[in-house]
Amino acid sequence: MTTLGFDEHDESYLDDAYDEFTPPAIYRCIKAESKWDPQIDLTPCYETLTDFEQQITALCLKVSDEHDRLEKLLDVFYSDWLFSASSLKVPEYKLNTLSYTLSMRSGTPTTLAILLCHFLQQANLDANLSITQGDVGVHVAISDEEGYIIEPSSGQQSWYIIPENADEEEGQEQEPLELIFDDELYKLFLAQQKWSFISENKFGHALTCVEMLMELLGDDPYERRDRGYLLNQLDCPKMARDDLQFFVDECPDDPAIEIIQHQIEELEDNNKTHH
């Protein structure tokens, strides 16, 4: 088992490394926290992650069979390290950060899945984040036809096998599974964090998430719509109006278009009143 050639404690490697390679999504998700919380010290988070990675490397030297390795690692993750869904009343935007999940051993299904996926990949297993009927899970492929789906909050696992004579459509019907990789995983994390900030009226933090998403997606009309909403909440009506108008022009058939147009009219009326 080899480790990547960088010091996980030093965040600056992320800035320098983009030209060389894209770091694992988990490091990008951790680093993102410093964008909306510049005061945060992420060093303990990186140290904990490194400690767990080293334990996994040691475990892999002892367990060669894939099924046994998966079983052992799940046992370590849920029984030894005690990761679980939170039973406390913690704001979702906290639960939805990797630093909180690593320090408190609890998080949302998404952060638990990101962590578990990373550790399984460290253990040389073919693991990826998955979405099945809207639920986040972890998919571990043993072969093209068989594998496991793991529920990240509890560790409950389901074994599946696609019969040899199943045609493609039937196979998809049995397992309506979407796998989420790298950039898409990072976008999912940022989008969930954006909505959790909005639900707590932390509009400045949510705006940071939107701006990070737009760095990845460009002028995405839905991100422009969300940015317009947030700019309006933050008393920037002219910029808000431009973003909302962009959304109306780009997505004229969207079901919410009348509501957005009404918001634009209100912004224009307020602008006239102030002048």
DSSP string, the chain: ----SS-TT-THHHHHHTTT-PPPHHHHHHHHHHHH-TT---HHHHHHHHHHHHHHHHHHHH--SHHHHHHHHHHIIIIIS--EE--S---HHHHTSHHHHHHHSEE-HHHHHHHHHHHHHHTT-EEEEEEETTEEEEEEESSSSEEEEE-TTT--EEEEE--TT--HHHHHHH--EEEE-HHHHHHHHHHHHHHHHHHTT-HHHHHHHHHHHHHHHSS-HHHHHHHHHHHHHTT-HHHHHHHHHHHHHH-TT-TTHHHHHHHHHHHHHHHHHH-
Are residue 172 and residue 239 in the same domain, yes or no? no
**pLDDT score, position 171:** 46
Domain boundary among 182, 201, 227: 182
Q: What average pLDDT does the chain have?
A: 87
Domain boundary among 136, 163, 182: 182
pLDDT category at 86 given cuts 50, 70, 90 is confident
Are residue 97 and residue 33 in the same domain, yes or no? yes
pLDDT category at 92 given cuts 50, 70, 90 is very high
Residue 214 is assigned to a structural domain of this protein: no
**pLDDT score, position 5:** 35
Residue 98 is assigned to a structural domain of this protein: yes
pLDDT category at 274 given cuts 50, 70, 90 is low
Query: What is the domain count for the chain?
Result: 2
Domain that holds residue 69: 12-182
Q: 192-224, pLDDT tens digit by residue?
A: 999 999 999 999 999 999 999 999 999 999 999
Are residue 223 and residue 143 in the same domain, yes or no? no
Residue 210 is assigned to a structural domain of this protein: no
pTM of the predicted structure, to 2 decimals: 0.85
pLDDT category at 270 given cuts 50, 70, 90 is confident
Residue 30 is assigned to a structural domain of this protein: yes
In the chain, % of residues over pLDDT 90? 75
Whether pLDDT at 74 is above 90: yes
CATH number at 80 reads 3.10.620
Residue 3 is assigned to a structural domain of this protein: no
Are residue 142 and residue 94 in the same domain, yes or no? yes
Residue 198 is assigned to a structural domain of this protein: no
Whether pLDDT at 79 is above 90: yes
Are residue 138 and residue 65 in the same domain, yes or no? yes
Are residue 68 and residue 166 in the same domain, yes or no? yes
Domain boundary among 182, 209, 237: 182
**pLDDT score, position 163:** 77
Q: 10-46, pLDDT tens digit by residue?
A: 444 445 444 456 778 999 999 999 999 999 999 999 9
**pLDDT score, position 174:** 54
**pLDDT score, position 268:** 84
**pLDDT score, position 257:** 92
pLDDT category at 108 given cuts 50, 70, 90 is very high
Are residue 178 and residue 226 in the same domain, yes or no? no
Residue 211 is assigned to a structural domain of this protein: no
Are residue 23 and residue 119 in the same domain, yes or no? yes
